[in-house]
Amino acid sequence: MADDQQSAKPRFGYETVDARTLASLRWQVGSRLKIANTKHLSSASRRFGTRAALGPHAVLLLFVADAPHEPGGLRLHTASRLFPAGPDAGHLPTVLDDLIIAAQGHIANAGPQWHPLDGVRSLVNGEQVHLPVGARYLGVGVSTLDTDQGRWSDIAASLHETLAAGIFGASQQISGRCYARLVDHTAMQVDRDAYPALGDNGIRCTQPVDIDHYDSYRRYADLTSRGDHDHQQMWQRLTALHDLLTAHLNPGRDV
């Protein structure tokens, strides 16, 4: 296993990180995505049926910065983009296509100086994020409220009927899902299950998130090729956006 662990030391686009730290960082990403999905659900639930209604998908940009006093010496930072409800907002591949086109335009207009968190050219619109000096791009993720339970538009309508009837806590029964691509070639699916199976953390990853159970990730090697046509299109668009940001923010590094 020593050889396998040595081969699992890719540069995160800027440095070599040991295998245990990489696994811990992926775990942090999975946990942060669950939190982001919960916030997404809360915001979408509050605004459903209003002029400010949100679409079922959100995009997250992930960054990492040196933090000597934290485990692994790294701290994860996230920034989000929510989308208003609308005809195109419900189709995730289209949402990602639009973001790719926007990023390409900003890069063409602003050149190497453009950053996806900068001012009027920002790709995000969530709470303001101030990255520490030296923070590096880590990856891109998606939060979605469309799951095996059904489409968000149908679930939300049922949820509001339930709340109107005075039955509280209904939102806690709604699941969510996230996807991510990271600069060490990781693909990740994270299920925030309202009724998780005992011992299931919901993280499906092509690289280990627990170095003590190193081989468990191998069952997800084909993660990006699973699912129907739209699901595979989502992975293609998410990977294309990630590759674009990696090439721009980590120039000269392998995507």
Tens of pLDDT, residue by residue over 18-51, are 888 888 899 999 999 999 999 999 899 888 889 9
Q: Which residue's entry shows tokens 């990602």?
A: 96
Q: What is the pLDDT of residue 216?
A: 67
pLDDT at 6: 37
Q: Are 59 and 142 in contact (CB under 8 A)?
A: yes
Q: What is the structure's pLDDT at 14? A: 41
Residue 83 CB neighbour total at 10 angstroms: 18
pLDDT of residue 54: 95
Q: Which residues of the chain have pLDDT under 50?
A: 1-11, 13-14, 164-168, 254-255
For the stretch 35-46, what's the b/e string if a residue is b when 16 or more beta carbons lie within 10 angstroms of its beta carbon?
ebbbbbbebbbe
How many angstroms separate the CA atoms of 198 and 210, rounded?
17
* 209 within 8 A of 30, measured Cβ to Cβ: yes
**Residues in the chain, total:** 255
- Give the pLDDT of residue 73: 85
pLDDT computed for residue 107 by the predictor:
96
What residues form DSSP beta bridges with 79?
A: 61
E strands along 128-173, which residues? 136-144
Domain boundaries, the chain: 15-249
